[in-house]
Structure 1
Amino acid sequence: MGLRFRPPKQTQKVMPVRPSKGHFLFAHQEYQRVSWWRRKNMRTLYIYIVILIMTNTANGFDGSMMNGLQTLSYWQEYFNYPKGPLLGLFNASMSLGSLIGLFVVPYLIDAYGRRLGCFVGCLIMLLAVGLQTGATGFGMFVAARLLIGFGDCLVLGSAPLLIAEIAHPQDRATLVTLSGASYHSGAFIASWVTLGTLKIQSDWSWRLPSLLQAICTIVIVCGIWIMPESPRWLMSKGRHEEAMRVLVKYHGEDDADDEFVHLEYAEIKAAIDLDKEIDQTRWVDFLKTKGNRKRIGLITALGLFSQWSGNGLISYYLKQVMDSVGITNPQTQLGINAGIKTEALVTNFTLAFFVDRLGRRPVYLVSTVGTFLVFNAWTIVSARYDLAPNQALGYLFVVFTVLYGVFYDIKSGLMATYTTEILPYGLRAKGFTWLNFCVTAALFFNQYINAIALAAIHWKYYICYCVFLAMECFVIYTFLIETRYTPMEEIAKYFDGESAVDVGEVAVADMKEQARETHDKPSVVQIEVKE
């Protein structure tokens, strides 16, 4: 039976609708939230998703570990106290590897599935961790980090998409946000690990954290093939029966007659059929329509903002920054780093559960305006300390560093959620890859240039980020579109306007027609589409 694609009737600006308490919206209807912990198959699905969330834990571990290693005397001695461009290359080599991997990601995961992308990336990372742990010199350490970046790029390009595409619609936003927030769980672990290994009086003070980096990756490798593949990817390959089995098992608890599962299947199928009909799967298609230009513009901005908000100074060069305000004791530096990572973990994981209730725009606005104000204060304190050094200013600097982290961390888990949900299936892998490219390119700049700039102009370099943060506030306030409470397949209406196809309405109409043809009267026939 063919699908009747037609534009929505409304011409006014579409705004998200808040569902009643204890309900979620799907295909214009309210459905009562299900208790996933009481459903065996859904519990299993969410255990799989927790394993996928660990992919970003491994990424966060690496970022915090490199910050911590710079404080360890044995690491400094082994690599002859790297500074400036050489230190920048140590930190930036992982990002360079990621940039290389981005040329592969969308084609691999669109052709062979999300699971294979995760698996291949994890295998490469395990090899690289072995090389990094056993590094005998500068070249071997940098080569290992290039490989880690390449593998990490494959994993981070696959796992968030798989989470978004297998999660139940009622929990999708929370789970994908937790995936983004899990970076801080890895950073938290690494910060305390490097604090602990400070007491090891040998090269194992830095080799052990490198080795422990493999734990999450090993878990993912062991679990990836028992997880379901994305039903959306399966449908895109014409494997509709397999996709239906995944939805029935994990979203319907093996009830093949479950009304919601059939409606979910119909909506996903309508969206993918529409993608094939309009044939928007190429890179150039991001520039062909106003809606796609909005999408790629926002994705580019969010990717750059995630790394050019001054956070790179704290993530990779906190030691140098603290040295500049007189905090030089390694124990104190590692303790402050561990405290910052603990705050980030608590903030991110707490807010992930309120991502729908709070909304995307309010979260981004509070985070961006807050970081702008605090970073300016941070810069002023640094300038005053440079003129007249005193301990009080040094500790005020630490207070502003922690406060900056609170505001920055409010939004940091939301980027993956927003990107995966605003992209249509045909462009999702490429769009998410472009996000990762923007993040990685900005990160490479941070990791390499920051070391050179800090050595050359010290606190004056912070002014560049003050200006950039002001621009961020303007962009977020002016262009970010709210999408909360809306299923992935229905978000197109916020970007494409009158040209958008209401796939929720199409799915309901299709099911009604199917019921009439079979002279059946399931409860879904009683659904009335809200205007």
Structure 2
Amino acid sequence: MPSGDAITIASAAFLAVGGFLFGYDSGIISSTIALPHFKQYFDSPSDDTAGGIVSSFQGGAVLGTMINMAVADILGRKMTIFSGSVVSLLGSALQAGSTSMAMLIVGRFIGGVAVGMLTSTIPMYASEISMPKWRGALSGLLQWFLSWGFLVAQWLGYGCSFSKTDFSWRFPLAFQCVPALILVTGIWFLNESPRWLMEKDKHEEARIVLNKLRKGENASQIDLEFIEIRDVIAADREIGKVSAMSILTKPSWRKRLLLGCGIQAFGPLSGINVINYYGPRIYELLGIGTQTSLMIIGISGALSIVYCTIGLWMLDKVGRVKPLMVSAAFLGAALLVNAVQAQYINPDNANQLRSMVAMNFVFSLFYTPLGIISWVYPAEIFPVEVRALGNAITTFTNWLVNLVFAQFSPSALTHIGFRYFLCLLRLQPHRLPLLFGSSILKPKALVPHALDDPVGAMAMQKETSLSAHVEERQV
């Protein structure tokens, strides 16, 4: 029998296939809309249409997170992931078989619904089954697998770009079915979240699952974790019934919601997805051809795997807040360098072009801490009673901001070119108040079900006293 650590790590790695699906679905469209045969088949889509193809995915993801707000705590973590994966299969089939632009956009929208459901469930699920020593890294696997998905999308798109038929864009879109099928078939071999089971008063089932996940550990430690989860849930019930509005009306939860939404919004506000979705368009402004630009993006994707591997290794060693501050500073610097160079761009100056491409690589490097932590942090800071709702709302924020950038970026790049990056640069200083605000909440030192106080350092004391109160009443 495998140890509890092996089961937990394998479970988190499997869940992160949803991150691969997210990365692949997001990445494949950048190469697809740049391919000559795609443009020929759909009669050279306009900027607004290209924006619609990309933003329909983001719009679907917004709806997917809204669906999660309503059903994630009812269906449970496993069934939510299964449902999202089935929806993904439907969307992928429609995209690959598209005979009209409307069919393609509907397929992208449905695929987005699926990814919205998955991305607002998987980090939370991974956090709930993980042991404290691995919690940050296992939750952050979503971003690592996302990078792999993006890498495969870019190189598959690059390889298929040499095809002289519609295969060049249909096959890459059809490949989205592969990770979805893996999730559909494999999710039933995972254990349900013990915290969700206990929230539904399935205590015996939760104990069995917890024993599997912590197999090999001291029995008293497993019992202590079981009691801790049970008592935190009981304490909140003792205080009063939790409703969907509680996350807004309770000050400490509202503060966590603001921090989680802010950190999730930082990702798209950085401009990362403008570069990811419209990379070929950006490099076209520099005079670089489609196939060369796809190769550059593929190399950047390969380096992202290295960045994410190092980032995951460091995550639980350096905490969450300091990497976010470093990320914000250097992302702004990289944007500034390219925005300034773009004012004096000379397509015949090879050194300048190489410098601007290199700045995009630097940008990708320093996005890594933000990319990982934006999924880990919101999954850690909410108490179990509102974790699914809180995680769904923070993910909703990410997709909503993405939707705006995805729709309007093609027109912006056409009309103002690289000056668009000056607009992105102006958004960077607005991160700092939230980054400093997040320093009061450092989940590195706390377990998720103990986070229920405006100041993170006091959370354990409060929950301990509440748990003791419940124990006295039970006796």
Please say whether Structure 1 and Structure 2 have the same fold, judged by a TM-score greater than 0.5.
yes
Tell me the distance in 1 between the aligned counterparts of 2:458 and 2:213: 34
Label 1:285 to 1:507 Cα distance change in 2 as closer, same or farther (>3 A): closer
Paired position in structure 2 for 1:161? 124
Pair 1:432 & 2:395 matched: no
State the secondary structure of the residue aligned to 1:182: helix
State the secondary structure of the residue aligned to 1:170: helix
Tell me the distance in 2 between the aligned counterparts of 1:378 and 1:504: 52
Tell me the distance in 2 between the aligned counterparts of 1:510 and 1:289: 21
The CA deviation string for residues 438-459 of structure 1, in whole angstroms up to 9 with x for no partner, is 1111111111011121122222
Offset of residue 506 of structure 1? 6.3
The CA deviation string for residues 350-403 of structure 1, in whole angstroms up to 9 with x for no partner, is 2112211111011101111110111111111111117x8633222211010101
Pair 1:137 & 2:100 matched: yes
Tell me the distance in 2 between the aligned counterparts of 1:127 and 1:170: 38
Paired position in structure 2 for 1:299? 260
Scaled by the length of structure 1, what TM-score is found? 0.84
Question: Which residues of 2 match residues 121-520 of structure 1 at below 5 A?
Answer: 121-253=84-216, 258-279=219-240, 281-327=242-288, 329-385=289-345, 390-480=349-439, 481-493=441-453, 495=455, 502-504=462-464
Tell me the distance in 2 between the aligned counterparts of 1:62 and 1:283: 31
Paired position in structure 2 for 1:20? none
Amino acid at match of 1:363: P
Question: Which residues of 2 match residues 59-78 of structure 1 at below 5 A?
Answer: 59-78=22-41
Amino acid at match of 2:267: S
Q: Any stretches of 5+ residues in structure 2 without a counterpart?
A: none
The CA deviation string for residues 132-158 of structure 1, in whole angstroms up to 9 with x for no partner, is 111111011111111101122222222
Contact 1:348-1:409 within 8 A present in 2 as well? yes
Q: Any stretches of 5+ residues in structure 1 without a counterpart?
A: 1-37, 518-531
Paired position in structure 2 for 1:33? none
Tell me the distance in 2 between the aligned counterparts of 1:445 and 1:79: 24
Contact 1:483-1:494 within 8 A present in 2 as well? no
Deviates more, 1:278-287 or 1:88-97: 278-287
Amino acid at match of 1:114: R
Offset of residue 286 of structure 1? 2.6
Amino acid at match of 2:271: G
State the secondary structure of the residue aligned to 2:344: helix
Label 1:485 to 1:344 Cα distance change in 2 as closer, same or farther (>3 A): same
State the secondary structure of the residue aligned to 2:445: coil
Structure (1 or 2) with the larger CA radius of gyration = 1
The percent of aligned pairs where both chains have the same amino acid is 23
Task: Let me know the Cα RMSD of the aligned residues.
Answer: 2.4
Amino acid at match of 2:111: I
Paired position in structure 1 for 2:53? 90
Contact 1:122-1:217 within 8 A present in 2 as well? yes
Tell me the distance in 2 between the aligned counterparts of 1:194 and 1:112: 36
Contact 1:266-1:510 within 8 A present in 2 as well? no
Deviates more, 1:58-67 or 1:161-170: 161-170
Label 1:497 to 1:346 Cα distance change in 2 as closer, same or farther (>3 A): closer
State the secondary structure of the residue aligned to 2:201: coil
Offset of residue 293 of structure 1? 2.5
**Higher share of residues assigned helix:** 2
Tell me the distance in 2 between the aligned counterparts of 1:219 and 1:205: 24
The CA deviation string for residues 259-318 of structure 1, in whole angstroms up to 9 with x for no partner, is 110000011111111232334633432332332222111112112111011112211111
Contact 1:305-1:472 within 8 A present in 2 as well? yes
Offset of residue 192 of structure 1? 0.9
Tell me the distance in 1 between the aligned counterparts of 2:437 and 2:454: 15
